[in-house]
Amino acid sequence: MKCFLYAHFICLWLLFSLEKSYGFEGRKIAENHHSHTIELSSLLPSTSCKSPTKALSSNDTKASLKVVHKHGPCSKLNQDKTIAAPTPTEILLQDQSRVKSIHSRLSNPKTSGENDVKVIDATTIPAKDGSVVGSGSYIVTVGLGTPQKELSLIFDTGSDITWTQCQPCATICYKQMEQIFDPSQSTSYTNISCSSSICSSLTSATGITPGCASSTCVYGIQYGDSSFSVGFFGAEKLTLTPTEAFNNIYFGCGQNNQGLFGGSAGILGLGRHKLSVVSQTAQKYNKIFSYCLPSSSSSTGFLTFGGSASKNSKFTPLSTISASSSFYGLDFTGISVGGTKLAISASVFSTAGAIIDSGTTITWLPPAAYSELRASFRNLMSNYPLTSALGTLDTCYDFSSYSTISVPKIGFFFSSGIEVDIDVSGVFFASSISQVCLAFAGNSDAADLLIFGNVQQKTLEVFYDGSAGKVGFAPGGCS
């Protein structure tokens, strides 16, 4: 069984996924205001992709793309067995690098010129096997160029530049599943010149001053510690769905790309900067997009541009992170565990500030908030045996001798007064049934930003309205 060969953690995500449409499988056997009860026995990991319960629709006001987990049975990247999925430990290390780089970018924003594209070439940064872009795990497939080529991109609300590997891969391209994009075979590709204001705006989008090669703008972007892309900045036709296409979307045509981006073709940047795809399609979609991350790698979610939020969405205002124009800031005010709001001073959250990020895996809390969460969670889980830590995760359980477990509910409070309940699939991150860990970590510094990660976003419809300046959450967006 493939599952046990390479991806125990995916199996565990399955164990803890629960959804109404598959309820007959007996995963969840009870739920009350304070806890979820999950059945552990008779749960075999699924190696096939379940089709979504409702078909995606696209029309004049919106465009919906299917979202899949990079390494699961629903992903075509999974077909190439030579592209190994990272282990749970590797995922957590990558997450830590991404979070470190977000924190350091915000605490000492680079002044222009301090970093330039020359800094990130192959001679200064060793390519590390297995390094991926932070831990961005979710991909969508879009069309690029004329005639259009299908490319599977990791979507990332924590960065702005969209890029893909491009022929002739002047320095190096990593291994990707689909054919590498060749701008010389597209009638709609154009280079951006070094003197254009678009080229200069790369500095604020990436923190790296663009370069110039024979008057073509050269971008560079670096994620976490070791993965990066450098290449020509160009414009192309981007096709989201068969009926929704945009001409002259600025993107990076990568000639030097390192880090195994999991076999994907690059990144779809959904940040708030004017170079993101969200901003570049604002005339049509008014900076509105939403997504749902599936509870497990054997189900699918969606990424929709435009459209409207579910009727049962709860909204909270977007805030601005002063040191960066990219991130979606939120004002956290509290956390509940098992139906009780934890005694954490609101200043703990306001001192740190917070963002929501599709590319960070677990949720990173201010140290004082994490220690309260951990104490309360451990107290309510005291029937179960604790086991060794998994990387940054220090609250791990051995559930190997249980058939059902009862898990306290966790909720997040925001400044508008709303409480958002985390789905049970968003509580744990596991390496195996005998090491199932609370998927939260504490930041090392009380002044570091809180990051609402993608594990905790699972099955929620997360609706971003960049024009109205708000984010909405609705339960049951996907399964």
Positions annotated as catalytic residues are 156, 357
d(CA 275, CA 289): 16
Is the Cβ of residue 135 or residue 256 nearer to ligand NAG in the bound state? 256
Window of 213-221, 277-285, 395-403, 432-440 that interacts with ligand NAG by CB under 6 A: 213-221
Q: How far is the CB of 294 from ligand NAG (least distance, A)?
A: 20
Q: Which of 180, 188, 177, 305 minimizes the C-alpha distance to 254?
A: 180
57 binds ligand NAG (CB under 6 A): yes
Is the Cβ of residue 249 or residue 380 nearer to ligand NAG in the bound state? 249
Is the Cβ of residue 101 or residue 216 nearer to ligand NAG in the bound state? 216
**Across the beta sheet with 332-337, what order do the strands follow?**
340-341, 332-337, 410-414, 419-421
Q: How far is the CB of 229 from ligand NAG (least distance, A)?
A: 16
Q: How far is the CB of 236 from ligand NAG (least distance, A)?
A: 10
Is the Cβ of residue 62 or residue 272 nearer to ligand NAG in the bound state? 62
Token pair for 411:
């909720």
**Contact with ligand NAG (CB under 6 A): which of 37, 216, 286, 387?**
216
251 binds ligand NAG (CB under 6 A): no
Burial of 467 (0-12, 13-18, 19+ CB in 10 A): exposed
59 binds ligand NAG (CB under 6 A): yes
125 binds ligand NAG (CB under 6 A): no
Is the Cβ of residue 60 or residue 129 nearer to ligand NAG in the bound state? 60
Window of 70-78, 212-220, 345-353, 378-386 that interacts with ligand NAG by CB under 6 A: 212-220
**Contact with ligand NAG (CB under 6 A): which of 42, 214, 382, 383?**
214
CA-derived radius of gyration, the chain: 21
185 binds ligand NAG (CB under 6 A): no
414 binds ligand NAG (CB under 6 A): no
Three-state secondary structure readout of 199-259:
HHCHHHHHCCECEEECCEEEEEEEECCCEEEEEEEEEEEEEEECCEEEEEEEEEEEEEEEC
d(CA 273, CA 324): 9
User: CA of 60: how far to CAs of 69, 142, 307, 427, in Å?
Assistant: 28, 18, 9, 37
Is the Cβ of residue 58 or residue 96 nearer to ligand NAG in the bound state? 58
Is the Cβ of residue 193 or residue 444 nearer to ligand NAG in the bound state? 193
Window of 52-60, 92-100, 103-111, 288-296 that interacts with ligand NAG by CB under 6 A: 52-60
Q: How far apart are the first and last CA of the chain?
A: 23
Q: How far is the CB of 420 from ligand NAG (least distance, A)?
A: 23
Window of 68-76, 194-202, 209-217, 315-323 that interacts with ligand NAG by CB under 6 A: 209-217
Length of the chain: 479
Token pair for 5:
């060969």
232 binds ligand NAG (CB under 6 A): yes
56 binds ligand NAG (CB under 6 A): no
Contact residues for 350 (Cβ-Cβ < 8 A; gap 6+): 331
250 binds ligand NAG (CB under 6 A): no
Token pair for 337:
């565990």
Q: Which of 391, 409, 388, 431 minimizes the C-alpha distance to 15?
A: 431
Cα 232 to the center of its chain, rounded Å: 25
Window of 10-18, 59-67, 92-100, 111-119 that interacts with ligand NAG by CB under 6 A: 59-67
Determine the size of the site formed for ligand NAG (CB under 6 A).
Answer: 13
Is the Cβ of residue 59 or residue 345 nearer to ligand NAG in the bound state? 59
Q: How far is the CB of 235 from ligand NAG (least distance, A)?
A: 10
User: CA of 12: how far to CAs of 241, 380, 418, 427, in Å?
Assistant: 33, 21, 30, 11
60 binds ligand NAG (CB under 6 A): yes
Dihedral sign, CA of 153, 159, 163, 164?
negative
d(CA 278, CA 190): 21
**Contact with ligand NAG (CB under 6 A): which of 37, 191, 200, 310?**
191
Q: Which of 310, 331, 307, 311 minimizes the C-alpha distance to 319?
A: 331
Q: Using CB under 6 A, which residues numbered 290 to 349 contact ligand NAG?
A: 307
Half-sphere CA count of 135, side-chain side, radius 13 A: 24
Is the Cβ of residue 218 or residue 381 nearer to ligand NAG in the bound state? 218
61 binds ligand NAG (CB under 6 A): yes
Cα 7 to the center of its chain, rounded Å: 19
Q: In the chain, what's the furthest Cα-to-Cα distance?
A: 67
Q: How far is the CB of 243 from ligand NAG (least distance, A)?
A: 11
Q: How far is the CB of 213 from ligand NAG (least distance, A)?
A: 5
Binding residues for ligand NAG, rule: CB under 6 A, are: 57, 59-62, 183, 189, 191, 213-214, 216, 232, 307
